[in-house]
Amino acid sequence: MSEGVSDDRSEIKEGSLIEEYSYTQQIINNLPYIAMTLLGAAILITGFGNPVWGWVCASAYVIYSVAGALWIIVFLCPFCERHGTMCCPCGYGRVAARLREKADVSRFGEKFKRHIPVIVPLWFVPIIAGVVFAVRGFSWSMVVLLVLFAFVAFIFLPLFSKRHSCAHCPQREECPWMGSNSDDKVIQSDE
């Protein structure tokens, strides 16, 4: 059992046991998203010639990131089997239970498809802005920030999610991201 995960387990779907996550582990599990947000904000701060505009845009990006997480908590998490439990790796399910009652878990895939696009711009706004900034006035700091952001946003965060959170999700079969076209099904079927 990994560190930070309690010895408690819960039955959620068809008798399958899943781990309950400590508050510390849930914070750690949010670090890739937080890193992506901070790197995106750094791109916006660094790229603008006028520091006021840089901070205004970076602040708006951070607010959008927090609002995006809240959107997912309110509109997707109630349809998750982990709603209201410590079995949610990021802790959103516990927060969602304070805001909305549990909904029909069979609609999770439908809700995922509908609400995930709300946060997709978080992955692309810094890249687009950073490329524009780099073309307008090349700087190595911008290149480094873009490479770091791209690594965290497009490689580390998705891999971390798929290997850590999604791999143990009781709804991965219904999930548009982890569903039938996922290469992880091959890995999971070997276990």
What pLDDT is attached to residue 53? 95
Within a domain: residue 48? Answer: yes
The pair of structure tokens assigned to 162 is 């798929």
The pair of structure tokens assigned to 84 is 């209201």
Within a domain: residue 56? Answer: yes
Give the residue ranges of the chain where pLDDT is below 50.
1-13, 15, 181-191
What pLDDT is attached to residue 178? 64
| Phi, psi at 105, each rounded to 5° | -65, -20
What pLDDT is attached to residue 175? 74
The number of domains in the chain is: 1
If phi over 0 gives left and psi between -120 and 50 gives alpha, with beta otherwise, what is residue 165?
alpha
From the list 154, 148, 5, the residue with the least C-alpha distance to 87 is 5
Within a domain: residue 12? Answer: no
What pLDDT is attached to residue 171? 78
Contacts of residue 160, defined as CB under 8 A and 6 or more positions apart, other chains included, come to 32
What pLDDT is attached to residue 179? 58
Within a domain: residue 11? Answer: no
Containing domain of residue 67, as a range? 18-184
Read off the amino acid at residue 142. M
Within a domain: residue 8? Answer: no
What pLDDT is attached to residue 83? 93
Within a domain: residue 4? Answer: no
Within a domain: residue 9? Answer: no
Contacts of residue 93, defined as CB under 8 A and 6 or more positions apart, other chains included, come to 77, 80, 82, 83, 84, 85, 87
What pLDDT is attached to residue 11? 46
The pair of structure tokens assigned to 42 is 């750094």
What pLDDT is attached to residue 118? 94
The pair of structure tokens assigned to 87 is 């079995």
Question: Exposure of 155 by Cβ count < 10 A (0-12 exposed, 13-18 middle, 19+ buried)?
Answer: exposed
Within a domain: residue 34? Answer: yes
